[in-house]
């Protein structure tokens, strides 16, 4: 069998047209998204938190630990500590801002795993059909009905046992990967479902048939023809998944499955509960992380919904 | 509804349950250490005793098939083994003790959230764009973004610790003896108010958001326009035409959510020290009580599968297109 | 044009409000009506695991069986022997046996006569187990008898039990072995009783017998009408298990419970200002330590894929140097909130008569630690890393349990301090069962590899120091040893002090042993923990610490303190405040400072109660919700949603 290159021969000018089309689409997208006040506000909030997460030390200095704490235990807010201190005298503003990094990175990586798994399984399942589709969908159904949270609780110690090291990646301790993997493994199924159904409808369209006729490999078709047409769905789904991941992370950390050495917001709330902050009236220990959690989840939801409406007008309800 | 559809759905549910049992087996054999860990720091346990404990838990047998066969066999017979933390107590009893409190709490909370959430969603959807919609929907979204403990902690501080209106935790006054059912009920209700409020608030958002979009969709339908043209009053259109039609997606959501009634709201139970399955889960996790964790996992898995099954059936019944 | 939905909405809200209003009267402060039972409510953050005395591993379990059953000889206010199941005892002239007289006319709570046969049965189980070189159940109760050298028990009549012993000491009077009713359990041998399922209600001879146990919720004990001693004021005792110290403290403040075991330091400080609440800081009979993995130091053995990561850990000079780098005072102040004592030797100061301070104490001095490391041959490399004698940078893996929130803080300090010496520290948190397995060496079984460098954990002991001493014996390797330490000299001294006939002789040997372990730096004992307790004085009086100098009222030894409680409401006291309580006068060093100092936490006000914060909270809540609601309302256009799953 001769190895003829099967890449579609795309004339240069056609490629140019495609680019212009994309540009126009992008412009159109920006115009319509800008019309969504909720989406814009959400995006602004997320931008702020992203900046905090990327460079927390620029705003509040390095993460305070029990050894470098600057205040007394449970000091109420003052000019020295704008948000007060925790039970070992660490500055709450410092912790909350650094918590943004931990929470956001966990959310980001968990979302990546979720979307990657969901998209690959969804596209492959929808495109291949037949036996593989059946097997993959049974698997998806199975993960769909698994009690996510209990599964996460059970998986956490198992994974901790496997990856239990002290190494750091991007300033994130390895133990946090437990939470990331757990969230990823337990939440990809619904994404896979959505993407599969979209794939099924894209598959029937003319250009896919054409690509098949001119001899495109299945992997090629999936990558070059199916993926671009489900990417809108993936984008909106990613943002909503992010909100879910942060929600789950907060909850897992709150019940004590987090890493005591890396303060995510959920971990801070757990520490607040453990140290009895609610009963001691130390509201400054609870309000900042709780506020951040709610605001960030809300912002992600707003952005996700706005994106969904703008990118997938058909699913929008008007 | 065709018998074939029913059969297919049942087969799928049974298959999934079997998968859950299998996963249950594998997962818990993978957990760090194994159930033979009798007090490792006990000065008085010898190596022989450790071996004996291993034998007692059947861990000296090969994993597959011996352990698997024994596990599946006893699970099917309803024998879930014995709790490790509460020594000598069957898992079924440990879980059974915690079953009703959770069903009571989450069941009631679902009920309240369904009624209030759907009402709020219907109203905001119908009054779309108005001030009531903006506030109502904004509130729904905020509640939807709040983990239960974020709702619950302030409630305790204000209403239990601060104002002292309600007890801080638990389901009943510990060890109390009651003069009559009235007293018992009063005690139960007093303990129930805050956790119930917490979970209801947490759930309302989801229902309201769903109902709002569903109503909005319905509002654009032809028959609503027809009803309007006939000069029917606004409220009557909403009640008699819009709501019944908009309920379809809500019904499915409710059915699926009912599967999670058993799963409960773990963090809410923890915050209020509610003696349900949620606190049991965390307890069992903290003391690595594998048999109990396995039991809970099985129970939750099966109830979610059954709820999904019911949801499919109901949906198939309501919407004939699904059945083919 | 109003939508009917909103009507229904309002009606529902009204109904809910009504239901709430109806509830309120039921919530009024519990004033006790005439004839109503007086219930002592005890809160603890520890659960109850088993009501079989041979199975329980937790203090709460001990409390449950000590209330229900009697020890043969009980513990008095200062842990001295007082009558329990036996009312008199004497040692035979030849010193080889003890004669215990069982009081006449004593009855079990079900009315059956309680006799020497019950004592012989219960002790006999342990004697058989000891002979078989085995244990009963979890194996925590019978070793006491072995330690006391008991070889045989016999009961010539219903009022006499004779115990034969090889031991010269009077440790036999401190054995923690309860007497269980033979007419109920008599058919079980020592193996079966360890597995037996005890079910409420239990039959006992103690002051309160277990009547009901709701797992993870509460255990209820009712007054034993047949109790032979002084009846306590409480008609019932309810021990309530809390998931968090916070809810427990709230319950104490609200008067829902009378006693709270285990508030944290901040909570205790806040409670010091509460009316009708008294706080106690007891010394725990135990410590928190850094246990260095010295596997192979005595026999040169190594473990494939396990054991300590550097030979430096086997070198006492290395461990000794590390000891100068830990500022224990800072740990007590910053981690324990000032409650607890700086640690040194392996017999806690709470066992006052046996504890000694080290002869060569180590003080915090990083520079000195560096010098000592240099002198011992552990040099720094160019990058500031401390090298072991094989030339490898030293990196120590510290393992700690996930059971409390102070250990991670300690670990951070240690990491920082050791880091200043050029010794890298990595920390790993594990659940306690896993951690217990990690530190086991191959001696415990072929799957165990003792793959750790330092274990940050703690131990709690018995009234007799032997329990804590035996962790360092050679034969503890493979079971309780977490330092893998073995020194025949120590073992010899252990036997010698056990056989010592006088307290002075024993103390001399114990002093040498404590200094040996300290000088060898087998452990670095960081601090002796404190038992923090708060109790209410408006319903019960007569609270007494056991031991009086540094103990706590409940959860100590035996059941005497429950019977000492009095009904505070029965005494016509006009103002039941802290100053006028019938509670015992504060014992020096035992109760917390009488708090003229402002509490550094709380609302900043002087009241300090939750009530002061309420308005603040309501304000914040309303403001946040309002701001968020308005903000959202402005940006909101429309939304759709997905179901919320369980969390």
Q: Which CATH class is domain C67-191?
A: alpha beta
Structure tokens that stand for B135 in this block = 């506030």
CB B279 within 8 A of CB B269: yes
Q: For chain A, how long is the longest CA-to-CA vector?
A: 78
pLDDT at B201 over 80: yes
Structure tokens that stand for B143 in this block = 């509640």
pLDDT in tens, B142-182: 998 888 888 988 888 788 777 878 887 788 877 677 778 88
Return the H-helix or E-strand segment holding A101.
helix A92-128
**Alpha carbon distance C442, C302 (integer Å):** 10
- C23 closest CB neighbour out of B85, B97, B193: B193
Q: What per-residue confidence (pLDDT) applies to A71?
A: 86
CB C595 within 8 A of CB C278: no
Q: Do C645 and A148 touch (CB under 8 A)?
A: yes
**Alpha carbon distance B271, B282 (integer Å):** 12
Q: What per-residue confidence (pLDDT) applies to C591?
A: 32
**Alpha carbon distance B266, A149 (integer Å):** 9
CA dihedral C309, C312, C314, C318 (to 10 degrees): -140
Q: Do A302 and C635 touch (CB under 8 A)?
A: yes
Return the H-helix or E-strand segment holding B270.
helix B266-272
Q: Do B131 and C217 touch (CB under 8 A)?
A: no
Q: Using H for helix, E for strand and C for coil, what is the string for A118-142?
A: HHHHHHHHHHHCHHHHHHHHHHHHH
What CATH number was assigned to the domain covering residues C286-529? 3.10.105.10
Looking at chain B, which subunits does it touch, using at least 3 CB pairs closer than 8 Å as the criterion?
A, C
Q: Do B301 and A146 touch (CB under 8 A)?
A: yes
Beta strands in B229-278 (DSSP E): none
**Alpha carbon distance C502, A106 (integer Å):** 63
The candidate with the shortest Cα–Cα distance to A302, out of B208, B144, B148, B150, is B144
Q: Which residues contact C319 (CB under 8 A, 6 or more apart)?
A: C292, C313, C520, C521, C522, C524
- C264 closest CB neighbour out of A65, A76, A275: A275
Parallel, antiparallel, or unpaired: how do β-strands C236-241 and C39-44 relate?
parallel
The candidate with the shortest Cα–Cα distance to C463, out of C105, C169, C56, is C169
Alpha-carbon gap: B287 to the closest alpha carbon of chain C (Å): 8
pLDDT in tens, C335-369: 999 999 999 999 999 888 899 999 999 999 999 99
Higher per-residue pLDDT: C578 or A38? A38
Interface test with C, best of A66, A69, A163 (most C CBs within 10 A): A66
Residue with tokens 């056609």: A14
pLDDT at C606 over 70: no
Closest residue, chain C, to B85 (C-alpha): C49
ipTM over 0.85: no
Higher per-residue pLDDT: C42 or B103? C42
Q: Do C413 and A66 touch (CB under 8 A)?
A: yes
**Alpha carbon distance B158, C615 (integer Å):** 8
**Alpha carbon distance A188, A140 (integer Å):** 8
Determine the average pLDDT of the residues in B240-247: 78
pLDDT at A161 over 70: no
Q: Taken in order A107, A112, A113, A115, is the CA torsion positive or negative? A: positive
Alpha-carbon gap: C90 to the closest alpha carbon of chain A (Å): 50
Alpha-carbon gap: B167 to the closest alpha carbon of chain C (Å): 8
Q: Do C246 and A273 touch (CB under 8 A)?
A: yes
Determine the average pLDDT of the residues in C154-181: 92
pLDDT in tens, C384-419: 999 999 999 999 999 998 777 789 899 989 999 999
- At residue C619 the predicted structure's pLDDT band, cuts being 50, 70 and 90, is low
Q: Do B123 and C647 touch (CB under 8 A)?
A: no
Angle at C109 between CA C105 and CA C115, to 5 degrees: 40
CA dihedral B294, B299, B301, B303 (to 10 degrees): 180
Determine the average pLDDT of the residues in C370-393: 94
Q: Taken in order B114, B120, B123, B125, is the CA torsion positive or negative? A: negative
Q: Between the ranges A91-100, B150-159, B298-307, C21-30, where is the mean pLDDT highest?
A: A91-100
**Alpha carbon distance C440, A34 (integer Å):** 62
In degrees and rounded to multiples of 5, residue A65 shows phi and psi of -115, 180
Alpha-carbon gap: C96 to the closest alpha carbon of chain B (Å): 26
**Alpha carbon distance B178, B14 (integer Å):** 44
Q: Between the ranges A172-186, B70-84, B225-239, C175-189, where is the mean pLDDT highest?
A: C175-189
pLDDT at C601 over 70: no
Q: Do A247 and C431 touch (CB under 8 A)?
A: no
CB C281 within 8 A of CB C452: no
Q: Which residues contact B252 (CB under 8 A, 6 or more apart)?
A: B311, B314, B315
Residues of A at the B interface, defined by Cβ within 8 angstroms: 138, 141-142, 144-147, 149-151, 153-155, 157-158, 160-161, 243, 247, 250-251, 254-256, 269, 273, 278-279, 281, 283, 286, 290, 293-295, 297-298, 301-302, 317-318
**Alpha carbon distance B24, B293 (integer Å):** 9
**Alpha carbon distance C185, C182 (integer Å):** 5
- A280 closest CB neighbour out of C267, C431, C639: C267
**Alpha carbon distance A42, C639 (integer Å):** 13
Lowest model confidence (mean pLDDT) among C32-41, C547-556, C634-643: C634-643
Q: What per-residue confidence (pLDDT) applies to C575?
A: 41
pLDDT in tens, C422-464: 999 988 887 777 788 889 899 888 878 999 999 999 888 888 8
Q: What per-residue confidence (pLDDT) applies to C627?
A: 58
- C639 closest CB neighbour out of A157, A161, A305: A305
Structure tokens that stand for A87 in this block = 């039970």
User: At how many degrees (to 10) do helices A148-163 and A175-203 cross?
Assistant: 130
pLDDT at A292 over 50: yes
Residues on chain C touching B137 (C-beta within 8 angstroms): 632, 636, 638-639
Higher per-residue pLDDT: A135 or C488? C488
**Alpha carbon distance C643, B207 (integer Å):** 7
- B16 closest CB neighbour out of A142, A158, A294: A142
Q: Which residues of C293-304 are buried (b: 16+ CB within 10 A; e: fewer)?
A: bbbbbeeeeebe
CA dihedral A20, A24, A25, A27 (to 10 degrees): 140
Higher per-residue pLDDT: C253 or C327? C327
Interface test with B, best of C23, C34, C400, C457 (most B CBs within 10 A): C23
**Alpha carbon distance C169, C491 (integer Å):** 18
**What is the percent of chain A with per-residue pLDDT over 90, rounded to a whole number?**
20
Alpha-carbon gap: A114 to the closest alpha carbon of chain C (Å): 17
- At residue A174 the predicted structure's pLDDT band, cuts being 50, 70 and 90, is low
- B32 closest CB neighbour out of C217, C403, C434: C434
pLDDT at A286 over 70: yes
Lowest model confidence (mean pLDDT) among B310-314, C137-141, C594-598: C594-598
Q: Do C412 and A261 touch (CB under 8 A)?
A: yes
The candidate with the shortest Cα–Cα distance to C341, out of C594, C589, C59, is C589
**Alpha carbon distance C434, C436 (integer Å):** 5
Determine the average pLDDT of the residues in A267-286: 85
pLDDT in tens, A228-253: 878 888 888 888 888 888 888 888 88
pLDDT in tens, C87-116: 999 999 888 899 999 999 999 999 999 999
The candidate with the shortest Cα–Cα distance to A121, out of A195, A198, A35, A187, is A195
| Residue boundaries of the structural domains of chain C | 67-191, 286-529
Residues on chain B touching C195 (C-beta within 8 angstroms): 88
**What is the percent of chain A with per-residue pLDDT over 70, rounded to a whole number?**
83
Determine the average pLDDT of the residues in C366-379: 96
CB B242 within 8 A of CB B213: no
Q: Do A274 and C244 touch (CB under 8 A)?
A: yes
Q: What per-residue confidence (pLDDT) applies to C537?
A: 94
The mean of the pLDDT values for chain C is 83
Looking at the complex, does the CB of residue A283 fall below 8 Å from at least one CB of chain C?
yes
Alpha-carbon gap: B200 to the closest alpha carbon of chain A (Å): 17
Q: What per-residue confidence (pLDDT) applies to C24?
A: 40
For residue C540, the 8-state DSSP code is: E
Looking at the complex, does the CB of residue A148 fall below 8 Å from at least one CB of chain C?
yes
Query: Whats the size of chain C, residue-wise?
Result: 647
Beta-carbon pairs below 8 A across chains A and B: 109
The candidate with the shortest Cα–Cα distance to A253, out of B203, C45, B267, B156, is B267
Higher per-residue pLDDT: C62 or B25? C62
Q: Taken in order C160, C164, C170, C174, is the CA torsion positive or negative? A: negative
Looking at the complex, does the CB of residue C479 fall below 8 Å from at least one CB of chain B?
yes
């Amino acid at each position: 069998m001769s190895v003829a290159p099967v890449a579609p021969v795309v004339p240069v000018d056609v490629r140019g047209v495609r680019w212009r089309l994309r540009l126009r689409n992008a412009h159109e997208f920006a115009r319509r998204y800008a019309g969504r006040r909720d989406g814009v506000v959400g995006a602004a909030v997320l931008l702020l938190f992203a900046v905090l997460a990327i460079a927390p030390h620029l705003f509040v200095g390095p993460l305070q630990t029990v050894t470098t704490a600057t205040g007394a235990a449970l000091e109420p807010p003052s000019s020295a500590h704008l948000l007060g201190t925790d039970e070992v005298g660490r500055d709450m503003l410092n912790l909350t801002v650094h918590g943004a990094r931990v929470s956001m990175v966990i959310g980001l990586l968990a979302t990546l795993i979720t979307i990657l798994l969901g998209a690959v399984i969804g596209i492959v399942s929808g495109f291949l059909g037949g036996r593989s589709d059946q097997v993959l969908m049974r698997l998806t159904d199975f993960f769909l009905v698994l009690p996510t949270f209990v599964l996460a609780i059970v998986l956490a110690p198992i994974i901790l046992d496997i990856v239990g090291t002290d190494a750091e990646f991007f300033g994130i301790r390895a133990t946090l990967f437990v939470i990331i993997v757990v969230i990823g493994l337990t939440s990809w199924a619904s994404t896979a479902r959505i993407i599969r159904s979209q794939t099924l409808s894209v598959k029937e369209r003319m250009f896919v048939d054409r690509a098949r006729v001119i001899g495109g490999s299945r992997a090629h078709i999936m990558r070059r023809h199916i993926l671009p047409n489900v990417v809108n769905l993936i984008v909106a789904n990613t943002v909503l998944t992010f909100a879910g991941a942060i929600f789950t992370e907060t909850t897992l950390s709150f019940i004590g499955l987090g890493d005591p050495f890396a303060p995510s917001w959920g971990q801070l709330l757990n520490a607040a509960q453990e140290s009895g902050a609610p009963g001691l009236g130390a509201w400054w220990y609870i309000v900042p992380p709780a506020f951040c959690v709610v605001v960030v989840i809300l912002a992600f939801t707003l952005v996700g919904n706005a994106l969904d409406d703008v990118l997938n007008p058909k699913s929008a309800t008007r | 509804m065709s018998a074939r559809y029913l059969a297919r759905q049942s087969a799928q549910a049974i298959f999934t349950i079997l998968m859950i049992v299998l996963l249950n087996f594998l997962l818990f054999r993978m957990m760090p250490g194994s159930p033979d860990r009798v007090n490792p720091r006990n000065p008085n346990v010898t190596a022989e005793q450790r071996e004996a404990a291993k034998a007692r838990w059947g861990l000296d047998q090969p994993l597959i098939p011996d352990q698997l066969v024994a596990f599946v066999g006893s699970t099917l017979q309803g024998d879930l083994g014995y709790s490790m933390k509460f020594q000598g107590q069957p898992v079924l009893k440990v879980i059974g003790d915690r079953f009703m409190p959770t069903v009571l709490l989450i069941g009631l909370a679902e009920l309240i959230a369904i009624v209030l959430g759907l009402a709020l969603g219907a109203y905001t959807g119908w009054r779309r764009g108005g001030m009531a919609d903006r506030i109502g929907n904004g509130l729904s979204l905020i509640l939807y973004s709040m983990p239960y403990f974020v709702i619950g902690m302030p409630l305790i501080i204000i209403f239990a610790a601060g104002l002292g209106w309600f007890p801080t935790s638990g389901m009943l006054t510990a060890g109390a003896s009651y003069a009559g059912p009235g007293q018992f009920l009063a005690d139960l209700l007093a303990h129930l108010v805050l956790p119930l409020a917490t979970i209801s608030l947490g759930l309302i958002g989801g229902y309201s958001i769903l109902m709002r979009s569903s109503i909005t969709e319905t509002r654009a339908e032809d028959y609503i326009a027809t009803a309007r043209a006939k000069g029917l009053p606004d409220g009557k259109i909403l009640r008699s035409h819009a709501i019944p039609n908009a309920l379809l997606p809500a019904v499915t959501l409710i059915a699926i959510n009912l599967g999670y009634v058993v799963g409960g709201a773990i963090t809410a139970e923890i915050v209020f020290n509610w003696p349900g399955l949620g606190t049991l889960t965390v307890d069992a996790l903290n003391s690595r009580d594998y048999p109990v964790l396995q039991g809970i996992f099985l129970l939750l898995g099966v109830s979610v599968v059954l709820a999904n099954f019911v949801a499919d059936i109901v949906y198939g019944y309501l919407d004939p297109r699904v059945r083919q | 044009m109003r939508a009917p939905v909103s009507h229904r909405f309002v009606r529902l809200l009204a109904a809910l409000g009504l239901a709430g209003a109806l509830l309120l009267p039921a919530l009024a402060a519990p004033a006790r009506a005439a004839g109503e039972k007086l219930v002592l409510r005890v809160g603890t953050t520890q659960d109850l695991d088993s009501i079989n005395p041979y199975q329980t591993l937790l203090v709460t379990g001990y409390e449950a069986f000590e209330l229900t059953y009697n020890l043969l000889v009980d513990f008095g206010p200062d842990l001295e022997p007082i009558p329990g199941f036996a009312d008199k005892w004497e040692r035979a002239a030849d010193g080889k046996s003890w004669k215990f007289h069982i009081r006449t006319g004593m009855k079990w709570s079900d009315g059956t006569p309680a006799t020497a046969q019950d004592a012989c049965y219960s002790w006999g189980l342990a004697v058989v187990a000891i002979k078989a070189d085995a244990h009963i159940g979890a194996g925590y109760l019978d070793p006491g008898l072995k330690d006391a050298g008991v070889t045989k028990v016999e009961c010539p009549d219903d009022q006499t039990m004779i115990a034969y012993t090889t031991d010269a000491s009077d440790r036999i009077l401190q054995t923690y072995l309860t007497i269980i009713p033979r007419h109920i359990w008599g058919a079980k041998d020592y193996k079966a009783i360890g597995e037996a399922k005890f079910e409420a209600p239990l039959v006992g001879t103690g002051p309160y017998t277990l009547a009901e146990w709701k797992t993870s919720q509460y255990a209820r004990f009712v007054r034993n009408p047949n109790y032979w001693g002084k009846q306590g004021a409480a008609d019932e005792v309810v021990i309530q298990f809390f998931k968090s110290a916070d809810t427990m403290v709230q319950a104490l403040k609200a008067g829902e419970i009378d006693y709270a075991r285990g508030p944290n330091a901040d909570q205790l400080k806040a409670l010091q200002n509460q009316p009708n609440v008294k706080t106690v800081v007891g010394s725990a009979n135990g410590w928190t330590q850094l246990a260095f993995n010295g596997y192979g130091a005595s026999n040169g053995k190594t473990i494939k894929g396990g054991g300590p990561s550097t030979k430096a850990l086997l070198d006492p000079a290395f461990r000794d140097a590390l000891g100068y780098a830990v500022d224990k005072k800072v740990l007590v102040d910053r981690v324990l909130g000032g409650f607890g004592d700086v640690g040194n030797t392996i017999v806690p100061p709470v066992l006052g008569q046996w504890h000694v301070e080290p002869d060569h104490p180590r003080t915090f001095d990083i520079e000195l630690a560096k010098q000592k490391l240099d002198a011992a041959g552990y040099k720094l490399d160019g990058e500031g890393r401390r090298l072991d004698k094989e030339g490898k940078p030293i990196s120590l893996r510290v393992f700690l349990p996930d059971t409390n929130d102070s250990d991670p803080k300690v670990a951070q300090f240690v990491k920082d301090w050791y880091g200043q010496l050029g010794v890298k520290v990595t920390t790993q948190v594990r659940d306690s069962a896993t951690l217990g397995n990690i530190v086991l060496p191959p001696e415990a079984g072929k799957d165990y590899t003792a793959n750790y460098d330092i274990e940050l954990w703690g131990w709690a002991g018995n009234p007799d120091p032997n329990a804590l001493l035996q962790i360092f014996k050679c034969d503890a390797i493979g079971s309780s040893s977490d330092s893998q330490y073995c020194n025949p000299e120590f073992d010899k001294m252990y036997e010698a002090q056990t056989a010592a006939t006088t307290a002075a002789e024993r103390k001399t040997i114990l002093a040498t042993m404590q200094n040996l372990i300290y000088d060898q730096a087998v452990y670095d004992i960081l601090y002796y923990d404190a038992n923090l307790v708060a109790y209410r004085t408006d319903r019960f009086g007569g609270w007494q610490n056991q031991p009086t100098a540094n103990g706590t009222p409940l959860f100590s030894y035996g059941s005497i303190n429950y019977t000492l409680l009095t009904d505070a409401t029965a005494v016509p006291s006009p103002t039941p405040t802290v100053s006028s309580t019938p509670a015992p006068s504060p014992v020096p060093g035992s109760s917390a400072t009488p708090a003229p100092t402002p509490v550094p936490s709380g609302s900043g006000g002087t009241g300090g109660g939750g009530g002061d914060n309420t308005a603040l909270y309501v304000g914040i809540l309303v403001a946040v919700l309002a701001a968020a609601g308005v903000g959202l309302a402005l940006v909101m256009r429309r939304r759709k949603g997905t179901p919320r799953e369980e969390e």
